[in-house]
Structure 1
Amino acid sequence: MATQSDTLTKTKSSASGAPRNARKAAKGGAGAKLTNEQNAESGFHASKQLSESLQRVLVDLLELSLQGKQAHWNVVGRNFRDTHLQLDEIIDAARSLSDVVAERMRALHALPDGRSDTIAETTSLPEFPHGEVDTDEVVDLITERLEAVVATCREVHDEVDDEDPTSADILHEVLGQMEQFAWMVSAERRTPQGR
């Protein structure tokens, strides 16, 4: 009867007669088995509520990236170049963070939905105006949309944290980046206090 060790070492032999790519069995057998908790494929599954909360953040980030591109293409006026480039930074961050959220959902056996009709029907962001938009108005519009993403994250945060602190850590990253962008973008229209 062939043992596991025999099976593992039956590979092509090199010129010296020693097996190539041979694996040795661990002492005492084939090695430790993963427990259900350690095996991601059969481990933790997101509840319906956790899935829906992460989906809300996902669609808002995707919509932000789309609206950011719309603004990027159609912004005109004073400080055009700075606004144009800053929008690209926001778009890149929103796309990157949406991917992190979607992949976290998949890791928890949830199904992210980034289809255009789903985004349009479920985002909390207001519609972006059509046509050319002045830089000052773009600053206000994008700040409003950044704050909408932040509001969604803050609204779902505590329930997400109760069920899955790791997913809440992702929300912290979204919040940190979106709040920083909101501050930086809105500063374009501010004047120093006391003046």
Structure 2
Amino acid sequence: MSTTTQTQFKRDILQDETTAEVTALLQDNLTNLIDLALLMKQAHWNVVGPNFRSIHLQLDEIIDSVRAGSDEVAERIVTLGIPADGRVSTVAADSNVAGYPDGFVKVSETISRVADALKQVIESLRSAIEKLGDLDAISEDMLIAISGELEKHLWMLQAQEV
């Protein structure tokens, strides 16, 4: 998380200690969401094989949801008076999302790897949701909405593996 301190807003939304705890949880998920979007774009560009077009297009739909979620999380962090950190160095150092191979990847492996990465991020979101319940209902609700959308995407990916 950024070493920059809280802004000097005159009207704090949360108490300082709560703000620090909430924004740390949000920052962890911001990092994972940014990394997931990058991973999925890598998969989108390099997927090959039967049904290429449908998975190529589906990945773009998921990426749009992930990017929108990361923007919401970043803006919530800033709303709470802490700078959001989406720098590549932060994402590379702090993301919990497993890496993605270089080169071309067949459709079936792409689906599996992307579904695994999506599941990792959903687990991180759900963990934060549990902790946010007593700290900040607004942040909790935001992560619930993001998780719900990503879980639907996970279902649609997994349905192709059967």
4+ residue runs of structure 1 moved beyond 6 angstroms? none
Corresponding position of 2:70: 98
Q: Distance in 1 between matches of 2:119 and 2:10?
A: 35
Corresponding position of 2:44: 72
CA gap of 1:66–1:89, structure 2 versus 1, over 3 A, is: same
Tell me the TM-score normalised to structure 1 length: 0.75
Once the two structures are TM-superposed, the CA of residue 186 in structure 1 deviates from its matched residue by 1.0
Q: Distance in 1 between matches of 2:26 and 2:154?
A: 21
Structure label with greater radius of gyration: 1
Corresponding position of 1:164: 136
Corresponding position of 2:6: none
The amino acid of 1:111's aligned partner reads: P
RMSD between superposed Cα atoms in Å? 1.2
Percentage of identical aligned residues: 38
Once the two structures are TM-superposed, the CA of residue 41 in structure 1 deviates from its matched residue by 4.8
Aligned residues: 151
**Which ranges of structure 2 fall in alignment gaps of 5 or more residues?**
1-8
Relative contact order, CA 8 A, sep 6+: which one is greater? 2
Alignment of 1:13-162 (within 5 A): 41-45=10-14, 46-162=18-134
**Which ranges of structure 1 fall in alignment gaps of 5 or more residues?**
1-39, 191-195
Tell me the TM-score normalised to structure 2 length: 0.89
Q: Deviations over 1:13-50 (max 9, x none)?
A: xxxxxxxxxxxxxxxxxxxxxxxxxxx75121452221
